[in-house]
Amino acid sequence: MLAFFVLFAVFGNTINIYSPTDQDIFALNQPPSAQHWFGTNAIGQDIYAQTVAGLQKSLLIGIIAGPAASILAAIIGSTAGYFGGRVEVVIVWFINLLLVLPAFFILVLLSPLLRQLSWVAIVVFLALFGWMIMAQVVRNQTKAIKDRDFVKAARYMGVSTPRILSRHIIPNVASILIVDATLGVVSAILAETSLSYFNLGIQKPDVSIGTLLAEGSGAAVTRPWLFVFPAGVLVLMLFAISLMADALRDAIDPTSGANRD
């Protein structure tokens, strides 16, 4: 199911004669038809083409920001757990500080800056505010792993700390990081959609699912195709990613499914 949405985002507009910016002045506010599969908006833009383009942008942001946050969590969490002492105290204090501050509120405050930058800035900010909880998990796992014999042996052999972390610590917590990265894609897409919905994220003439929802919400009753199609694509895509995360968790930890039952 997820593969379908990825293919839809990449190749969806290759079978459509309209681009996201094309305007059909003879089909203003038209419902779905053979010519415009998802209908058109008030200026004749094809909703299907815009939905595909919006899906591309939202999915791209999620696929980059989610794993990036997990990588940050792996590096910072393993460093805190491995070194302990003052290093751990400082890192934990910083994590708790960021957890106290609502990430979405911070992003709203930074929205004037985001508006002046490209979508890459949104990816960076989402990654910077999405790693803290998983870093705590990695820190606790690292504290348990660092006293195992294979880590002690590597330390006695003079293996450098970065190498120990990258070769012995992080690979042993990779399973939870993989699941976290997958769920992070969902969180990043939802965050970007929320920001763009309130005109704080992606800006025109660029398009994302959030901007489409914002434009279509006011006409959800009179012209439902403006809202229903982007919203449906968003819900189904997030559902597909969540299913993949659940499947990965069951594959990595077969007992997790039994525990939920």
pLDDT exceeds 90 at position 49: yes
CATH number assigned to the domain with residue range 33-255, chosen from the 4 options 3.20.20.220, 1.10.10.350, 3.20.20.140, 1.10.3720.10: 1.10.3720.10
Nearest Cα neighbor of 183 from 141, 131, 139, 258 is 131
Domain ranges of the chain: 33-255
H-type helices in the chain, by residue range?
2-11, 47-83, 85-100, 103-109, 111-116, 119-128, 132-145, 149-156, 161-164, 174-197, 209-217, 225-252, 255-260
Let me know: does 79 contact 25? Beta carbons within 8 Å: no
Let me know: does 32 contact 232? Beta carbons within 8 Å: no
Report how far residue 8's alpha carbon sits from residue 40's, in angstroms, rounded to the nearest whole number: 19
At residue 258, the pLDDT reads: 44
Please tell me the pTM assigned to this model: 0.88
Report how far residue 54's alpha carbon sits from residue 226's, in angstroms, rounded to the nearest whole number: 13
What Å distances lie between residue 71 and 125, 128, 181, CA to CA? 14, 11, 8
- Number of residues in the chain: 261
At residue 109, the pLDDT reads: 79
At residue 121, the pLDDT reads: 87
Give the contacts of 197 (CB within 8 A, at least 6 positions apart).
Answer: 210, 211, 213, 214, 217
At residue 254, the pLDDT reads: 64
Coil, strand or helix at 46: strand
pLDDT exceeds 60 at position 256: no
For residues 20-40, average pLDDT? 92
Q: Copy the structure tokens of residue 125.
A: 């900010």
**What phi-psi label fits residue 223: left (phi over 0), alpha (psi between -120 and 50 degrees) or beta?**
beta
At residue 153, the pLDDT reads: 93
pLDDT exceeds 70 at position 259: no
What value, to the nearest 5°, has the Cα angle with vertex 205 and ends 200 and 211? 45
Reported as a single tens digit per residue, the pLDDT across 91-127 is 999 999 988 887 777 877 777 776 666 788 889 989 9
